[in-house]
Structure 1
Amino acid sequence: MDLDDHGLTFSADAVMDETEELRNPFPSPPSHYTKYTTHNLDLLALYNERLPDRRNESQAQILADQTDVPDWPLTQLEKPRIDWILEEPEPYYDVFGERWFVKDKIPSLGEGGGTQLYPEDPTVDRRPALLGILRSLLVTYSQLTSAILAPPPSINLSPANTEPPKPEWEEKVEWITVLAQNLMAAANDLRPVQARGNLELMMQRQLQLRREETKALHDKCDILDAKLNELRAAAQLISSRGDSTDVAMSDPTPTKVVPDDVLAEDVLRWAEEVE
């Protein structure tokens, strides 16, 4: 059992068990969640209200007129001070046993413990360094092929040196691994640029499709306007013909049914034949 700054006793085994629980994929709620009751929160608000005038008194003395005052400090229920976290050079917070940085930053290859062969500053042109890495990779691969095809060397172990020397192919493989890690890390650093470029291309394609759809709609509207104009002209023509027919039928002037060149004898003969 140990004693902390607030006078609370805790067990190292209990702390270890809680830490292991927080690292589980589906951890249980922290054991102190039961302290966040409405009564305790009300006591905390009352304690903070009375504290400025009674700083020399303890928690039990300040809340002597209250019931069910806990023996642990109520200040444990205070919300985390985010401003304190942000004052740190690299602000972070811990959740379920994992550390998360406030400012999301992808560590570079050098910060991750690897051998970085290209400039760390993203504003510096990395193309010369990457071309050198690529050439070195090709040369090392050629040397690795030659080392694999070469006969094994004779090994003479002296009493002072009982370990055999490292084979050449193993050194080449290690160097190829370092070069490949640099190429992969440099490519991963360009992911934001690639995502920005893909987003620009996608937006340009969407804009082009909308322009094509708008043009197709305008062309269709022009065709419909032409059809409507043709129908309107046809309707006006029919209407004008109907008006001229009505005028001819209402004219009182008698019309000649029998042409002038028909003789009376022809009419009589036609009548006799009909009878």
Structure 2
Amino acid sequence: MAEGGQPRALTTAFAPPPPLWKHFTPENIKRLEQIKKEASKGADGKPQKKKWTPAQLRGLDLPPELRFLVPPAIPTSGHYSVFGELQSLSTALPSLQEQGITQLYPSTPTTESDSKSSSEPARPLNHAYYLLKISKSLLLNFLEFVGVLSIAPEQFEAKVEDLRNLFINAHHLLNLYRPHQARESLIMMMEEQLSRTKQEIEDMDKLKAEITGVLNRLEADGKATQASAQADKDSKKKSAKDEQAIEDARLIWNLLDEKIIS
């Protein structure tokens, strides 16, 4: 028990699901769908197709056990716990001063007064330069830490605090690049998608060319076959006419022969 008689909150690496999962039963889901159908009826009493949003569902008069089935509103402020540590919902990176940590590199001017306080225009902060300096300071402080442990081990706390401060400053500098990293990752993904789409279009064009070539060959073969069939037909007609002419000539000669004999 904690002080004041209040139960102490237990934190685990893998916490169990919240108790509300017990309300996600087929019966409750069916009841919620029936309530949505009843609420979507028009003036004629017929249910209309409607896509319900969580905000609209929260506006319905639902029983307590069905309210857990409706997604809550997305929080915009506050904190949440991760492995026992409170994390802020804000996406802005808090400064080292706000966290009570000594900052070992200069800050970038963020307001117009800061940039106008100097006669020269403000230059962007060279993070790589200060990361290199912090890395060298880490090596030097680690050597000093080893020396302190070999001479006076009881005085290690000061050097451990210096190393901790250097690591936090280096980590904070790296976090400043997170938006840039996200943009570059998005650009890379879009470029990969574009190149993949171009490759698919090229493959489709090649396939189209192959299909067109096959169709052209089939058309040419069909025309050649048709021409050959027409030529055979014409030759057959010509041979039939020649045979008919020969037969007619034979009949004429037979008639002449009969007249001469008679």
Query: Which residue matches 1:220?
Result: 207
**How big is the shift at 1:126?**
2.3
Distance in 2 (alpha carbons) for counterparts of 1:94 and 1:230: 71
Q: Which residue of 1 aligns with 2:232?
A: 245
**Residues 1:131 and 2:132 are matched in the alignment:** yes
Equivalent in the alignment of 2:105: 118
**How far off its partner does 1:146 sit?**
2.7
Separation of aligned partners in 1, 2:96 and 2:167: 12
1:107 aligned partner: 94
Partner of 1:176: 163
Residue type matched to 1:137 in 2? L
Q: Distance in 1 between matches of 2:95 and 2:79?
A: 23
Pair 1:117–1:141, CA change in 2 (3 A): same
Instruction: Find the counterpart in structure 1 of residue 147 from structure 2.
Output: 146
Judge conservation of contact 1:93–1:102 (CA < 8 Å) in 2.
yes
- Aligned-residue sequence identity (percent) comes to 27
Alpha-carbon distance between aligned partners in 2 of 1:237 and 1:108, rounded to the nearest angstrom: 82
Q: Do 1:118 and 1:130's aligned partners in 2 also have CA atoms closer than 8 Å?
A: no
Say yes or no: does 1:195 pair with 2:188: no
Say whether the 8 Å CA contact 2:104–2:169 is kept in structure 1.
yes
Shift of 1:188: 1.3
By how many angstroms is 1:103 displaced?
7.7
* Counterparts in 2 of 1:136 and 1:240: CA distance versus 1, 3 Å: same
Are the equivalent residues in 1 in contact too, given 2:79–2:89 (CA < 8 A)? no
**Deviation of residue 106 (structure 1)?**
2.4
> Relative to structure 1, is the Cα distance of residues 188 and 242 closer, same or farther in structure 2, using a 3 angstrom cutoff?
same
Q: What is the one-letter code of the residue matched to 2:242?
A: T
Q: Residue 204 in 1 paired to residue 191 in 2?
A: yes
C-alpha distance in 1 between matches for 2:161 and 2:77: 37
For residues 236 and 93 of structure 1, do their structure 2 counterparts lie closer, same or farther at Cα, with a shift above 3 Å needed? closer
The one-letter code sitting in structure 2 at the alignment partner of 1:130 is L
| Cα distance in 2 for residues equivalent to 1:95 and 1:107 | 14
Q: Say which one has the larger Rg.
A: 1
User: Structure 1 residue 185 and structure 2 residue 172: aligned?
Assistant: yes
Change (3 A) 1:94 1:199: closer
Aligned to 1:71: none
- Counterparts in 2 of 1:94 and 1:209: CA distance versus 1, 3 Å: closer
- Where in structure 2 are there 5+ consecutive unaligned residues? 1-5, 10-17, 19-75, 81-86, 110-123, 245-262
**Are positions 1:254 and 2:243 aligned together?**
yes
CA offset digits 1:169-194 (Å, max 9, x no partner): 33221111110000111111211111
Q: For 1:93 and 1:227, how far apart are their aligned partners in 2?
A: 65
Task: Note closer, same or farther for the CA distance 1:253–1:230 as it changes in structure 2 (3 Å cut).
Answer: same
Letter in 2 for 1:126: H
Q: 1:94 to 1:196 in 2, by over 3 A?
A: closer
Helix, strand or coil at the partner of 1:124: coil
Q: Which 4+ residue blocks in structure 1 deviate beyond 4 angstroms?
A: 92-96, 100-104
